């Protein structure tokens, strides 16, 4: 009988050759893959070769990968020259016979610079419509807490802030007080105190009354500073209030004197001949913002006091434009 061992050896030999060929192919494929790896993000996840560089963290045109390092701002803010601004404000007020308060705040550094003449920084000053920002903020607080629905009163808020509509302010005060103007004023004052400021809110904004509304330049500037810093009510509400404030006013009454590209500003003004000339607002320059509040009581002339407000804003602007 013939043996079949040679056939068995042939079969084994063929299998080994096939395995050797397959192994060679696998080794070649692995070597090629190692030479052409896919890009990875800092976390080690492979990125698609078709990924958008703006979304993948790559810098377009260079192929570099974002390491998570914060982007350096185009302009590094520096603290303002407080002494210089103080001197400029004092010089502008020098020799005036009316009572004047000025408060300037730099929200970026929480820097406060004040100047007064014929009164002190703490003295209550008559300022009827300066209460409008406090009313707006109380509305946002109550809309967050539940008593008010913001969408139902937002038109009145905008009319009050952007058209100096005192009737809208009085309607909002009543809504805050659940139908009672007196309770509404008390709620606005309580809101101010809860946020570290004071307000003498004693009368409706419309019409005349034996009572007066009182503020200080410092208190009105402080409430605007909280808005700029995103700290009044909450960050979202502060942003919305700032957007409303920075909407161009239909009846400005006082010229800010602000000029230049990239400037936005929002002011609440109060002009009562022989009683008060007041202006409080936020100024956004291309690189930074500032808050300014000016209150004048018993102005000698209305036009002269309005021009002085314009001058004080113009004196302040260069210290934040550098």
Lowest mean pLDDT among 74-78, 194-198, 312-316: 74-78
Percent of the chain past pLDDT 90, that is, above it, reads 69
Q: Is 294 helix (H, G, I), strand (E, B) or coil?
A: strand
The predicted model gives 254-259 an average pLDDT of 89
The predicted model gives 75-87 an average pLDDT of 93
**Residue 58: what pLDDT?**
33
**Residue 158: what pLDDT?**
96
**Residue 31: what pLDDT?**
53
Burial 19-41 (b: 16+ CB within 10 A, else e): eeeeeeeeeeeeeeeeeeeeeeb
Residue 216 corresponds to which tokens in the numbers above?
């200080």
d(CA 172, CA 206): 12
d(CA 101, CA 115): 6
DSSP for 182-222 reads: HHHHHHHHHHHHHTT---B--S-SSS--SS--EE-HHHHHH
d(CA 190, CA 176): 12
The predicted model gives 12-29 an average pLDDT of 58
**Residue 15: what pLDDT?**
59
d(CA 154, CA 230): 19
The predicted model gives 237-246 an average pLDDT of 97
At 71, the pLDDT band (50, 70, 90 cuts) reads very low
List domains and CATH numbers for the chain: 82-321 (3.40.710.10)
Q: Is 3 helix (H, G, I), strand (E, B) or coil?
A: coil
Structure confidence by residue, pLDDT tens digits, 135-192: 999 999 999 998 899 999 999 999 999 998 999 999 999 999 999 999 999 999 999 9
Hey, which of 13-27, 50-64, 113-127 has the most confident mean pLDDT?
Answer: 113-127
CA dihedral sign, ordered 265, 248, 144, 194: positive
Residue 176 corresponds to which tokens in the numbers above?
């805050």
> Based on the number of CB atoms within 10 Å of its own CB, is 89 exposed (0-12), middle (13-18) or buried (19 or more)?
buried
Is it the case that residue 6 has pLDDT exceeding 60? no
């Amino acid at each position: 009988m013939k043996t079949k061992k040679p056939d068995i050896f042939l079969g084994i030999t063929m299998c080994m050759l096939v395995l050797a060929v397959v192994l060679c192919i696998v080794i070649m494929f692995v070597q090629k893959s190692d030479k052409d790896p896919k890009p990875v993000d800092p976390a080690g996840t492979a990125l698609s070769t078709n990924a958008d560089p703006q979304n993948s963290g790559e810098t377009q045109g260079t192929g570099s990968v974002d390491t998570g390092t914060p982007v350096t701002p185009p302009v590094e803010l520096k603290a303002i020259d407080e002494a210089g601004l103080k001197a400029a404000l004092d010089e502008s007020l020098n020799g005036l016979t009316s009572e004047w308060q000025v408060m300037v705040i730099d929200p970026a550094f929480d820097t406060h610079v004040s100047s007064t003449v014929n009164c002190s920084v703490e003295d209550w000053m008559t300022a009827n419509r300066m209460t409008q920002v406090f009313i707006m903020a109380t509305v946002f607080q109550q809309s967050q807490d539940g008593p008010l629905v913001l969408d139902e009163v937002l038109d009145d808020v905008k009319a009050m802030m952007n058209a100096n509509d005192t009737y809208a302010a009085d309607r909002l005060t009543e809504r805050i007080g659940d139908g009672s103007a007196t309770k509404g004023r008390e709620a606005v004052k309580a809101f101010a105190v809860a946020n570290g400021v004071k307000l003498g809110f004693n009368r409706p904004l419309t019409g005349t009354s034996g009572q007066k509304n009182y503020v200080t330049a410092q208190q009105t500037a402080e409430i605007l500073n909280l808005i700029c810093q995103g700290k009044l009510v909450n960050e979202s509400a502060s942003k919305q209030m700032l957007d409303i404030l920075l909407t161009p006013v239909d009846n400005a009454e006082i010229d800010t004197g602000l000029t230049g590209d990239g400037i936005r500003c929002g002011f609440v003004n109060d002009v009562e001949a022989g009683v008060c000339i007041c202006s409080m607002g936020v100024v956004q320059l291309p690189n930074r913002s500032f808050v300014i509040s000016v209150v004048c009581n018993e102005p000698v002339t209305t036009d002269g006091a309005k021009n002085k407000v314009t001058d004080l804003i113009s004196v302040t602007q260069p210290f934040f434009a550098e």
